[in-house]
Structure 1
Amino acid sequence: MTLTVGFVFDDTLDVLDGVQQHIVTLGRELARRGHTVHYLVGQTEHSPMANTHVMARNVMVPFNGNRMRIPLPADKRHIADVLHDTHFDVLHVQAPYSPFMAARVIEAADPSTAVVATYHIAPKNVLAAVGGQVLGAINAHSHRRIDEVVAVSSVAAQYAAQTARTYGSIIANPVDVHAMRELAANAPAAHEGHHIVFLGRFVERKGASLLLDAIEYAQRHDLWPADTHVTFAGKGPLLEDCQVRATGLSIPTRFLGFVEESDKPALLASADVTVFPSTGGESFGIVLLEAIAAGAGVTLAGDNPGYRSTLLGDEDALFSVGADHARDLAERIAHALRDPQWAHQLRERQEKLLERYDVHAVADQVERIYGRALAKRNR
C-alpha cells in the first residue's frame, strides 16, 4: 500500500543538520518505494525536496550547546488549507516540537490521519532537560493525538520518557550508504601523507578545540608520523578562535569552512582518521556513519552517550572527552596511523555497522510503524 506522508518539522530545510538529514534521506527512500512525500516545515527558501510547504517564520535561539531555529506562531488558516488540499495518511512529526507550529498541525490533522513522532534530542545539561520537561507539559494535549512514538537511540528514548512521559520504538537515523559510496568513488585522488579530518560546527560541544589540544600534545611528544596533516571543515562562532590557535602549530592544519553536502564524501574518503570529539548533547551520530560509508580509514568519536550508542560501545573507537582528553585522543590517533593491523580490524568492525543503519533497513522499520499507527486510527 502506498501512502501520502507529511514530515512535520519546525526548523528549516535550507541547511542539512542532523534532523534534516534524517527526514530528507528517509523521504527519498519512501518516495523511491512509491509513497508520496511532503514536508511541512519552518521558514525555508531553497528546499532540496519537492512538495515543501512553509508553515511559519523562524527565529534563531541558543539551545543545548548549539543554536537552533524555532517557529513564530503559524497561521492556523494556512495549516488548515495545506491539510485540506492534501489528505495525509501519515503525519510524521520530528520531536520535541514547538506548540507554535508542529503542535498546531497535529491538532488540525484529520481524524483518519495517523500521527507518528520521532524524538531526536539528547540534553547536554540540566537546563536543556528542564526546558524539555516544560515543553512536554505545554504539548501534553497535542501529544495525546500521537499514535506511535519513535526515538533514534536509547538516549533520545530516555529524553522522550523524561520530558513527554512517552515510550516507543527505537529506530536509528538512516544513512544512504550507496549514495555516500558512489560520491566517494568519484572523488579526486586521496591526499598524500597521513590525513586527519574533523567535520562539524565550530561550537563548544562539537569539540574542535579538543582536537587542537590533541594536535599540540602530539607535537610535544612526537606521536604522529612526520607527514601527518589535519583538515577542519565546518563553520560556527568558534571558527576564528580555532584558526588563531592553529597558527602556532607545526603540524600542517587547514580550515575549509562550510563544505557542501555533495563534497562531504570526498573529504571523508580522503581521511586516514576522521575525528568527531563531541562532548555531549548527541542523540545519535549520523556523521560517524557517513564517514564510515564514505571510506574513511577509521572513525574516532568522543565518548558521549549518543556516539557510544551508535558505535555499539566499541572502546577502540571511543576516546575520553574529560580531563585527560588531549593525551587520550592524540594516542588513539597515533595508534590508528602507526598500527595498520589495528586500524584494519577497527575499520572492518565499523563497516559491519552500516547494514544496521542503511536507509533501506531503516525505511522497512518506519513503514511497519506507519502500518501500526494507521491500524490504531482505523479501529
Structure 2
Amino acid sequence: MSLSVFSDIRRLLDEQQFDVIHLHEPMVPLLPLVTLGFSKSVNIATFHAFQGTRLNRFWSLFTRGLFNKLDCHIAVSTPAREFVSKYYPAEYEIIPNGVDLDRFSGENSLNKFKDGKVNILFLGRMEKRKGFKYLLSAYLRTKKQFPDIRLIVAGGTQPLKELRPMLKSDTNLDIEWVGQISDSDVPKYYHSADIFCAPNTGNESFGIVLLEAMASGKPIIASKIDGFLEVMENDKEGVFCDPENEEELEGALKKLIKDAKLRASMGKSGRLTAKKYSWDIISDEIEDTYFKAISKKHSKVGK
C-alpha cells in the first residue's frame, strides 16, 4: 500500500465531512485503522472475528487509544462479542449479518445436475477448519448404500493431498470438483442442491453460508459449533452433528437422503428463518445504532 493513501484518506474525510463512518474490523491494519485515526465523525464499528494470534493482546494495548474513538460497538454474534471483549472490553450490540433474500429466492438451478440424483453441496475453501475430509469420508460410506447421490464441491481447489488416497478406491464416486465459482453462480449451486453440508470444525463467528442455504430453501447438515448455533435449530432447518464426527455426518446424510418430505419441510422452515435476517430488517437495526450514536455524541458535546 502506497504511503500516499494516508494523505488521500485524510483529504477525503476533510472534504466529505461524513456524519457517520462505519468500519468493519476497525482495529485491523491498515485501512480501517488509519481511517479511524483521522476520523472526526461518529464512528461505528462492527466486529466479525472469532480467532486471533498471540499478538492480539499486545496489539490491543497498542491501539487502545484508537479504540476509544469508537462511539458504538457492534458484534455479529455472541461468539464474536465474546472474542473481541477479551481484548477490547466495552458494551457491544449484537446485530447479525444479513442475507439478500431476493438473490437466493429463485429456482435457477444448473441443468447438468438435474438427473434425479440427490445432490449434496459443499461450498467453501479447502482448509482443514472447513472439515471437508469428514464429509468426504461420510459421503463415501453413504454412497455404498445410496448409489444415486452426488457430492458437489464448489468454492475450493482440488482435494488436499491427504484426501487423495480416499479417492483411489473407486472411479464412480459421483464427485464434482467445481473449483472456484463466481459470485453470480453461487445461488445456482444452492438451487441445484438437495442437501447443503457445512462440516466446519470451528472458528466461525457466524453462519452466513447456513443463511444462504436457508434462503434457498435447502435443508442443512452442519457442525454443532458456536457460530452456527446462532442461526440454526436442530431438526428444524437441518441436522446438527458434532464436529469431526464422520458417523454422525453419515447418519444425517442417510436420514435426509431417504426422506424427501423431511428435506422439503426443513427447507421451508429455513426460508422462514432466513426472513428474520433480511437486509431490510438488519439495515434498520444498523440505522438505529447510527441515530443513537449521533444523539449520544451530540449530548456529550452539549455538556
Instruction: Please state how far the C-alpha of 1:101 moved relative to its aligned partner.
Output: 3.0
Runs of 4+ aligned residues of structure 1 deviating over 6 Å after TM superposition are: none
Distance 1:252 1:238, change over 3 A: closer
What amino acid maps onto 1:194 in structure 2? V
Instruction: Please state how far the C-alpha of 1:214 moved relative to its aligned partner.
Output: 0.8
The answer as to whether partners of 2:103 and 2:187 remain within 8 angstroms in 1 is no
Corresponding residue for residue 16 of structure 2: 86
Q: By percentage of residues, which structure has more strand? A: 1
Query: Could you tell me how far apart the structure 1 residues matched to 2:34 and 2:188 are?
Result: 41
Distance 1:341 1:238, change over 3 A: closer
Q: 2:287 aligns with which of 367, 372, 376?
A: 367
- Structure 1 residue runs of 5 or longer lacking an equivalent are 1-55, 58-72
- SS at structure 2 position matched to 1:172: coil
Corresponding residue for residue 232 of structure 2: 311
Q: Which has the higher contact order (CA 8 A, sep 6+)?
A: 2
Distance 1:340 1:236, change over 3 A: closer
Corresponding residue for residue 256 of structure 2: 336
1:32-57 CA distance string (max 9 Å, x none): xxxxxxxxxxxxxxxxxxxxxxxx46
Corresponding residue for residue 231 of structure 1: 152
Tell me the TM-score normalized by structure 2: 0.89
Instruction: Please state how far the C-alpha of 1:244 moved relative to its aligned partner.
Output: 6.2
Instruction: Please state how far the C-alpha of 1:116 moved relative to its aligned partner.
Output: 0.6
The answer as to whether partners of 1:203 and 1:236 remain within 8 angstroms in 2 is no
The answer as to whether partners of 1:99 and 1:138 remain within 8 angstroms in 2 is no
1:319-347 CA distance string (max 9 Å, x none): 1113xx11110110110111233323322
- SS at structure 1 position matched to 2:230: helix
Distance 1:159 1:108, change over 3 A: same
- SS at structure 2 position matched to 1:344: helix
Q: CA RMSD in A?
A: 2.3
Q: 2:35 aligns with which of 105, 127, 131?
A: 105
Q: Percent identity?
A: 24
1:285-343 CA distance string (max 9 Å, x none): 111111221233x1111111101112145585211113xx1111011011011123332
- SS at structure 2 position matched to 1:321: coil
The answer as to whether partners of 1:195 and 1:230 remain within 8 angstroms in 2 is yes
Q: 2:202 aligns with which of 274, 277, 280?
A: 280
Query: Could you tell me how far apart the structure 2 residues matched to 1:247 and 1:253 are?
Result: 12
1:169-220 CA distance string (max 9 Å, x none): 1011011011221xx434444522111110001111011111111123324x
Distance 1:102 1:96, change over 3 A: closer
Q: Does the alignment pair 1:299 with 2:195? A: no
What amino acid maps onto 1:303 in structure 2? K
Instruction: Please state how far the C-alpha of 1:378 moved relative to its aligned partner.
Output: 1.7
Tell me the TM-score normalized by structure 1: 0.72
Query: Could you tell me how far apart the structure 1 residues matched to 2:77 and 2:285 are?
Result: 14
Q: 1:356 aligns with which of 276, 282, 287?
A: 276
The answer as to whether partners of 1:152 and 1:171 remain within 8 angstroms in 2 is yes
Instruction: Please state how far the C-alpha of 1:238 moved relative to its aligned partner.
Output: 5.4
